[in-house]
Structure 1
Amino acid sequence: MPQHKPDLPPELRPLAEMPLLKRLAARLFGHGLTRLRAQHRFSWLHGQADGFRSGHEAGVEYGYREGKADGLEEGRQVLLIRDFRPDEHRAPGVDDSLFDDWRLPLTADIKKRIKADVARLLPAHAQPSAAQWKMIFSDTPSTSVIAGAGAGKSTSLVLRILLLTHYLGFELSSMTVVTFTRESRKDFINKLMEILNLWGQPLGFKEAQAVVRTFHSRILPMVRSLPGFERLQAFENLSAGFEEADSNPFDLRIGDAQRQQMNACYHQLHGRHARFRELMTPLARQGLQLKELERDHPDVQKRMAVTELAAKRDEELCDVIEDLWFRAGAWPIKGIEPSRQTFEINGAQFHCHGYIPELDAWVVLGFDSRENAQISRPNAKLSVRAEWAVKRTLFQAFCHKPLIWLDSYDSSKRLLSSLAGDASAGPGFDYKVKGELASAPLLDSFVMAAGFIENLGLDVPTAVGNMSFAKDDPDRFFFEALSIFWKALEDHLLDQSPPIMTYNRMFSLFGENTPENLKLLSDPLLRPMSHLMIDEFQDVSPQIVSWIRASLREIRSRGPAMHVGRGAQRSSLLCVGDDWQSIYGWRGSSPKYFMAFNQEFPSPSTTRVMLGENYRSHQHIIDAAEHIVRAAPAIPGKKAKAAGTPKALVPVTVLERDDAALGRKLLEHYQQGDSVLMLYRKSSDKLLIQEHIQSVINVDSSLPIQARRLKQLTYHSAKGLQADAVFLLGDCQHVTSSPYKNQVYRMAGLGKDGDSEPYDTAQKDEVLRLAYVGITRAVSHCYWYVEKPEGPAVNVPKASERVDGRKAFFDDQRILV
């Protein structure tokens, strides 16, 4: 506050301003006068001055304070300043979008032109619907297209490419269309060439091939661009004999060339890695061990009644079988001690033939299939083969000791080489991981388990290190051995000349965990990923999703410089799929990325299109398939309607399995001129049905390829196909639980929180989707033959349980008990 001193005459100035002597004299005189109670004019004047001065200061201070308060109050009536700033410091947010905020430069004139041209150049049945035009004209950076079975998505995708190239001037070199299989790629290439040609934009086969790719054929050139990898070979293609990588990403069949590399790696590892060698012992014992049978199995129930009789003849049976092995030169076996150890089976005494100290396991010799099946003991009612079968069943149900049952002379040779430590031909035994439907050679089982883990975007050794198993669970040793072997195999493959790498490793090199590797790629290699269109997106794996997202992030980070002088700018993603047709979860795919598209692929703006019209099937087939699959989680709001020329409504017929009746009905449709799809759940069913449809096979195979009307496939292989009449053989059911897959599913963040078996839960939904895929292959007729239930199935959901005979779209002819 400012200070204002009043002007005073010299005689009234404060004592403090007087000379020292005068001040002392004034004080002395002042004290004396005070005691005398006499007035002193100058003292009075000084007191008055002091009072005036202090009063003035107090008044000014009070006045300033009151005036300021009044002024502020008056000012508030004119202007109120409030401070909205947060008390705490806040950093800027993160822009996590994979795309710039931009729009496709579409004008009303361009839309009008392409619509007119399509109406003029394409036939009436190929004219897009309103929903299909919405897909073609999507102008946002990301687009998800939910396209049910028979939705006509292929033509719409080709018209989208036509719009981008012919009408907007985008270069084909900026685009990639991804299909899942070699067949679908070939079909799409032909359609693209055909339509662009109609628009006077002829496209060569090689140019079309460069645009329409599988994921595999797009990643391979990326890795080959790195120094030292110019001639890199894909492990999965070693046996294929072709350069282009067109295989289905979930096709893990192992050929001789792959097995040769794996055996060589195994041989080296077995020789130098003590722990790996140690792990082979419990795995061999488990792999060679006789597989258990449940005691309520029909064979066990039937043969239990003759346990005592079988025990009485067992020693003689052992003698006969041992003699057969001896004559074949297959017995004795080095490494097996001949020993007639006695076992108690269901209260009766039986015998084995030998003992393997290395595996701490007993051995029983079996009846080789090459021997005469009619051989019998003297005066015996049953053949040796039948007696042996009874014994085997009883051992499977009631023997609790480690037991190796050698079924053939050949299996003994494999065991012999394994016991002798000969690792050059691989382990020499099969292994069945818990949850798998069948056993497979140990190294094949390694490949399948590693492939599943890597498809989920996980590293094998890291994932194995996070797993846990019961102490006595042989899978604990399997996965430890897998971790050691997989690292050794990857190193072994890279040491070859030229180097070899699995596709999964290629994708992981350019995934979100290693974004720096993408910076090594040139603009021309990365640019084709700028405008990405993916079909069958519901079957994508976490591993592929990571690669796609990492690629899109890198493209965005390079900015406009990447597109200088080009018509195609920035980047976009268009994904077409149907979560109801997601059927590859058992190999590591997940519909999650399609169902939660906007969260998984963040974008400033997105378009969602629902293609609800079905141009293939009539309404009864659509409704029957949807009725079954509706029990599985799905994108909300889906309901397909039959489009095109109305067809006669024929319900889906569900029957008890009868292969002969199926054969007669199939012949009837074939003779009427219908195209026919014969679909089966298990490969073994194909062999069983052959004799009943052989006459049709003979006629059809004699025709030129384009005139053939019969195809035989598994349910899984039939995606994308159709026929007038479809025959489905076998139910869709989830029959096993997979402890290891449940663990890695949780590691990959798949499934719901708190679900201890997220993989099994996903599989129970997937069997419904598999039935949906099978039924929706049909144009007019669908016949579904399912096995009659053998007793109560506990917690084994079957798709056929969703069939409701009261609905008009089902004709359930089964005799339901």
Structure 2
Amino acid sequence: MPQHPPDLPPELRPLADMPLLKRLAARLFGHGLTRLRAQHRFSWLHGQADGFRSGHEAGVEYGYREGKADGIEEGRQVLLIRDFRSDEHRAPIIDASLFDDWRLPLTAELKKRIKADVARLLPARSQPSAAQWKMIFSDTPSTSVIAGAGAGKSTSLVLRILLLTHYLGFELSSMTVVTFTRESRKDFINKLMEILSLWGQPLGLKEAQAVVRTFHSRILPMVRSLPGFERLQAFENLSARKGPGDDEGDSNPFELRINDVQRQQLNACYHRLYARHARFRELIAPLARHALQLKELERDHPDVQKRVAVTELAAKRDEDLCDVVEDLWFRAGAWPIKGIEPNRQTVEINGAQFHCHGYIAELGAWVVLGFDPRENPQMVRPGAKLSVRAECAVKRTLFQAFCRKPLIWLDSYEESKRVSSSLAEDATAGPGFDYKVKGELASSPLLDCFVTAAGFIENLGLDVTNAVGQMSFAEDDPDRSFFEALSIFWKALEDHLLDQSPPIMTYNRMFSLFGENTPENLKLLDDALLRPMSHLMIDEFQDVSPQIVSWIRASLREIRSRGPAMHVGRGAQHSSLLCVGDDWQSIYGWRGSSPKYFMEFNKEFPSPATTRVMLGENYRSHQHIIDAAEHIVKSAPAITGKKAKASGNAKTLVPVAVRDRDDAGLAQQLLTHYNNGQSVLMLYRRSSDKYLIGQYIQSVVNLDSSLPPAARRLKQLTYHSAKGLQADAVFLLGDCQHLTRSPYKNQVYRMAGLGKDADAEPYDSAQRDEALRLAYVGITRAVSHCYWYVERQEAGVKGHKASDRIAGNRPFFDDQRGVKGE
């Protein structure tokens, strides 16, 4: 029974609810009204009711059905959309790490076993400290080890290799230990063979040599693997007398001397270029004139003031003096000189007439012959009061002060031969003159200057031609012509060397071939050549150059990019880098190295994880020597937290003795220590100092050199050469200071991104710090005694000297200099 709304009035109830007769009557009557088009209110109301009813029923039914469906769906799932996306486009993060994210599989049980083996097989004095064990057990891809002087790092490095090979099964062919010199390489090889044999892992000499390398000996095989370069020779290895290993890159990276074989290549390239390159000839002429011409003296110079009074007298005797000097040169076969026109032109000096001996048209310069030092210094002209040597000295001083013509003064017969060879374009001779680049301490043959300057620029990771193009000099600065000539010469030299049979290449060019600027070249190398770089351990890392850093980083990136395929079937997987160094011992900045890469290790060698180890114990020196050395160097920028402590049994504390320069007193003190059976190290700053002190200690030198090498107890070396050595008593002769300013090095330092941004002279600033570090190196060579003899400082003279840092009021210094605090 259909339900109706309860409030429906009776008159609107449906017809179906009415009695039958009434329903029939209603319908008939309704049809009639419809035909008559008449309104029937009752019917209308009933129709409205029927519509309301049917509409209501349909609406309720439809609403119920749809509402129920919607309700069920909403109960089933509620979706809320909020858009957190940035409108900015973002690329994926770059993975700049040089290494995969991995760790050495070192368990507590394995560490315990290794420590037990070391305690059993090595003597007590060789047992690692806690810090050294941290270095040995480093399990991260990269490790930096700050190892001060006498820190005992060599044994720790060998034990690290033992860990990787003996205990973890890594192949020796996957690792390289880098040392900087032949001597340090030889010592490390012996120690490696000795310790591995104790573990029943005997290592042959050739196997050990394959692991312990210099950077040079590792890059050379890479280049030789390329087609056409199988017999490539390194320019630095060229020598008339080659010893074992000389051809394998086992050379000292800090060797500067040019030998005869190398010079032949330089000279041949020079003369070929000079003959063919007009601009190069234009640049050489003013350089030669500048280098050869007599250097000016200020007119208030004491020598000038003393000799100007005899100007007229000297002019009167000058022609006779010229005759005598020319005769000497003629008898020596040194005059006339081909390329120099004999011409007795007169030169006016303070109104008086003097004479020249010749003229070089090519250089536009006049020539005066001097008194050769090999002639008898007592020689006197007939009737003269002064010796010929003294007369020449007076003339020279007057010319230096008052002659403004381009003038070349030849002081020796040997010098004339060089000038003659150069003017004759002798292909076996060089340019024939020396040059001094601003900032260098002394002049050198021009081509030697080219090699030194180019080497410095390239060590900084720069291209010579590009770097020269960014330099700036005053228009009249001769260095401007020098560097333009260098740019032309260096490119020609590289081509000339490659044209030789077999081809020749400098080490710097080899490193640049496989550096970060040309990473595609590394893809040409077989896995076998790259694999030894996988686990790299580098000693003396504070002396690494930007050029080497670029090669190391490029090699590590290539190893990582090759992935697992490079290590199939091998125990050594992935790659790692462990660097040991001491920023306080960085002393080769003058060659282009920088401690920056060690001091900012994490930044320069990005890694998923890095272990940092501080080896603070000093196994060599007592505390006074350590404290004195650190006091000198503490004002230089350094890695924070460094402070060394003397290790082992307490030794007698003897302060570092500082004395005024006294060669005789030094010799006596040195003799005392030598006679007491102690080892002695005598360090000097200049070669002239070695000659001077040699006069006083010759008896000790003769005695020591007569002994077998193993029994000798005296060594004489420069401060730089003493690195890595030690002695009971150390004698330091001379101060450590930076004396010059180097405009070109400051410029290329900035190009290489070295130094502070606001520093206009970053190289010179670095060298002032390096002078302090050099003194630190010298002092820390001492085991028990250190004596430092320095020159007195002249009043009013200021300089950046290491001795300025000496604190006479501190117990670790015994400062007995006659003048203090000035």
Q: Please, what TM-score do these two structures have when normalized by structure 1? A: 0.88
Tell me what 1:640 maps to. Answer: 644
Q: 1:390 to 1:624 in 2, by over 3 A?
A: farther
SS at match of 2:737: coil
Shift of 1:303: 4.9
Q: Deviations over 1:771-810 (max 9, x none)?
A: 000000000001111112234334x201111111011111
* More displaced 10-residue stretch of structure 1: 387-396 or 442-451: 387-396
Tell me what 1:229 maps to. Answer: 229
Residues 322 and 355, structure 2, Cα contact 8 Å, conserved in 1: no
SS at match of 1:243: helix
SS at match of 2:476: coil
Shift of 1:426: 1.8
Aligned partner of 1:672: which letter?
Answer: N
Shift of 1:475: 1.0
Aligned partner of 2:327: which letter?
Answer: F
Tell me what 2:196 maps to. Answer: 196
Aligned partner of 2:692: which letter?
Answer: L
State yes or no: 1:186 paired with 2:186. yes
Q: Deviations over 1:426-468 (max 9, x none)?
A: 2111111111111111111111111101101111111111111
Q: 1:263 to 1:728 in 2, by over 3 A?
A: same
State yes or no: 1:365 paired with 2:366. no
Tell me what 2:346 maps to. Answer: 341
Structure 1 unmatched ranges of 5 or more: 1-38, 53-66
* More displaced 10-residue stretch of structure 1: 279-288 or 149-158: 279-288
Tell me what 1:149 maps to. Answer: 149
Tell me what 1:94 maps to. Answer: 94
State yes or no: 1:807 paired with 2:786. no
Q: Deviations over 1:507-534 (max 9, x none)?
A: 0000000000000000011000000000
**Structure-2 separation of matches of 1:761 and 1:548:** 27
Aligned partner of 2:702: which letter?
Answer: N
**Structure-2 separation of matches of 1:536 and 1:314:** 62
Tell me what 1:323 maps to. Answer: 324
Residues 322 and 331, structure 1, Cα contact 8 Å, conserved in 2: no
Aligned partner of 2:147: which letter?
Answer: A
SS at match of 1:219: helix
**Structure-1 separation of matches of 2:153 and 2:285:** 53
Tell me what 1:497 maps to. Answer: 501
SS at match of 2:593: coil
Alignment of 1:128-277 (within 5 A): 128-239=128-239, 241=242, 242-277=246-281
Residues 420 and 432, structure 2, Cα contact 8 Å, conserved in 1: no
Tell me what 1:5 maps to. Answer: none
* More displaced 10-residue stretch of structure 1: 198-207 or 401-410: 401-410
Q: 1:537 to 1:322 in 2, by over 3 A?
A: farther
Shift of 1:717: 0.3
* More displaced 10-residue stretch of structure 1: 269-278 or 227-236: 269-278
Tell me what 2:28 maps to. Answer: none
Q: Deviations over 1:329-348 (max 9, x none)?
A: 24444433524433446x97
SS at match of 2:216: helix
Tell me what 1:412 maps to. Answer: 416
Q: Deviations over 1:716-775 (max 9, x none)?
A: 000000000001111111111111111111111111112111111111110000000000
Q: 1:261 to 1:332 in 2, by over 3 A?
A: closer
* More displaced 10-residue stretch of structure 1: 204-213 or 410-419: 410-419
**Structure-2 separation of matches of 1:173 and 1:552:** 16
**Structure-2 separation of matches of 1:293 and 1:667:** 44
Tell me what 1:58 maps to. Answer: none
Tell me what 2:537 maps to. Answer: 533
Residues 616 and 644, structure 2, Cα contact 8 Å, conserved in 1: yes
Residues 325 and 370, structure 2, Cα contact 8 Å, conserved in 1: no
SS at match of 1:320: helix
SS at match of 1:328: helix
Shift of 1:86: 1.3
Indicate which of 427, 431, 434 corresponds to 1:427: 431
**Structure-1 separation of matches of 2:209 and 2:795:** 53
Shift of 1:358: 2.5
**Structure-2 separation of matches of 1:271 and 1:769:** 46
**Structure-2 separation of matches of 1:630 and 1:223:** 42
Q: Who wins on radius of gyration, i.e. which is larger?
A: 2
Tell me what 1:312 maps to. Answer: 313
SS at match of 2:789: strand
Tell me what 1:592 maps to. Answer: 596
Aligned partner of 2:557: which letter?
Answer: R
Shift of 1:292: 4.2
Tell me what 2:23 maps to. Answer: none
**Structure-2 separation of matches of 1:566 and 1:148:** 36
Shift of 1:359: 1.7
Q: 1:293 to 1:725 in 2, by over 3 A?
A: farther
The percentage of aligned residue pairs carrying the same residue is 80
Shift of 1:232: 0.6
Tell me what 1:466 maps to. Answer: 470
Aligned partner of 2:730: which letter?
Answer: V
Tell me what 2:27 maps to. Answer: none
State yes or no: 1:125 paired with 2:129. no
**Structure-2 separation of matches of 1:788 and 1:81:** 84
**Structure-1 separation of matches of 2:359 and 2:468:** 33
**Structure-2 separation of matches of 1:381 and 1:657:** 38
Q: Please, what TM-score do these two structures have when normalized by structure 2? A: 0.88
Q: 1:279 to 1:171 in 2, by over 3 A?
A: same
Aligned partner of 1:720: which letter?
Answer: G
* More displaced 10-residue stretch of structure 1: 402-411 or 309-318: 309-318
Shift of 1:165: 0.6
Residues 587 and 773, structure 2, Cα contact 8 Å, conserved in 1: yes
**Structure-1 separation of matches of 2:544 and 2:401:** 42
Q: 1:442 to 1:620 in 2, by over 3 A?
A: same
Residues 147 and 612, structure 1, Cα contact 8 Å, conserved in 2: yes
Residues 738 and 767, structure 2, Cα contact 8 Å, conserved in 1: yes
Shift of 1:815: 1.1
Residues 264 and 428, structure 2, Cα contact 8 Å, conserved in 1: no
Shift of 1:243: 2.1
Indicate which of 765, 772, 786 corresponds to 1:768: 772
Aligned partner of 1:312: which letter?
Answer: L
Tell me what 1:709 maps to. Answer: 713
Aligned partner of 2:699: which letter?
Answer: S
SS at match of 1:207: helix
**Structure-1 separation of matches of 2:172 and 2:370:** 64
SS at match of 1:609: strand
Alignment of 1:654-693 (within 5 A): 654-693=658-697
Aligned partner of 1:799: which letter?
Answer: A
**Structure-2 separation of matches of 1:340 and 1:92:** 79
State yes or no: 1:386 paired with 2:387. no
**Structure-2 separation of matches of 1:311 and 1:506:** 62
Tell me what 2:481 maps to. Answer: 477
SS at match of 1:713: strand
SS at match of 1:313: helix
Residues 292 and 396, structure 1, Cα contact 8 Å, conserved in 2: yes
Aligned partner of 2:347: which letter?
Answer: T
Tell me what 1:797 maps to. Answer: 800
State yes or no: 1:577 paired with 2:581. yes
Aligned partner of 1:200: which letter?
Answer: G
* More displaced 10-residue stretch of structure 1: 369-378 or 314-323: 314-323
**Structure-2 separation of matches of 1:181 and 1:311:** 60
Aligned length: 753
Q: 1:534 to 1:362 in 2, by over 3 A?
A: same
Shift of 1:647: 0.9
SS at match of 2:748: helix
Residues 285 and 404, structure 1, Cα contact 8 Å, conserved in 2: yes
* More displaced 10-residue stretch of structure 1: 309-318 or 619-628: 309-318
Shift of 1:410: 2.5
Tell me what 1:554 maps to. Answer: 558
Aligned partner of 2:192: which letter?
Answer: L
Q: 1:495 to 1:160 in 2, by over 3 A?
A: same
Structure 2 unmatched ranges of 5 or more: 1-38, 53-66
**Structure-1 separation of matches of 2:171 and 2:299:** 67
Q: Deviations over 1:338-366 (max 9, x none)?
A: 24433446x97755444433322232221
Aligned partner of 2:468: which letter?
Answer: V
Shift of 1:286: 1.3
